[in-house]
Homo-oligomer: A and B are copies of this chain.
Amino acid sequence: MNQDKDALGKKILKLKRGKGLSWAQIASAIGYSPVWTCAACLGQMSMPVEAAEKTAALLGLSADETTLLVDIPYRGSLPTAVPTDPLIYRFYELIAVYGTTWKEMIHEEFGDGIMSAIDFDMAMERLPDPKGDRVKITMTGKFLPYRRY
């Protein structure tokens, strides 16, 4: 299923570059945030029909491609369990280094449960810094307490 989505993702990247659009501009046109819009265009989220149609209108996609944007994906965007690309690997490294810390601190504050990766949102911004600008990522996920029954 993802092969079609992957191909569409690549096509959107080309169209985006050709039209000189930013993710912020596409996001604004369809009424969602840039991170989510990018994830949906790359085939990891399912667009509502209306958003898919707006995306199609903006970029010039066919009806089949519009439907593909609406399809629910088999998620998982990476070719290996441990990612090789350095930018993506750094996030994997954070899990190796901070995994037990996240566990400790979330349990201390909320008790037994997890941070949802489904009822979840994320934003990314540039943080100007004289020693070198920083990438700032803010994520919130609903705390889900483990059900005791």
Q: Is there a chain B Cβ closer than 8 Å to A59's Cβ?
A: no
* Total residues of chain A contacting the partner, CB 8 A: 90
A144 to chain B, nearest CB (A): 5
Determine whether the beta carbon of A97 is less than 8 Å from that of B86.
Answer: yes
This protein's copies in its complex? 10
Determine whether the beta carbon of B96 is less than 8 Å from that of A75.
Answer: yes
Determine whether the beta carbon of B138 is less than 8 Å from that of A101.
Answer: no
Once bound together, how far apart are the Cα atoms of A145 and B142, in whole Å? Answer: 12
Determine whether the beta carbon of B93 is less than 8 Å from that of A77.
Answer: no
Residues of B within 8 A of A56 (CB): none
Listed from nearest, the 6 A-B pairs whose CB atoms lie closest are A76-B84, A115-B135, A121-B149, A90-B117, A88-B99, A39-B101
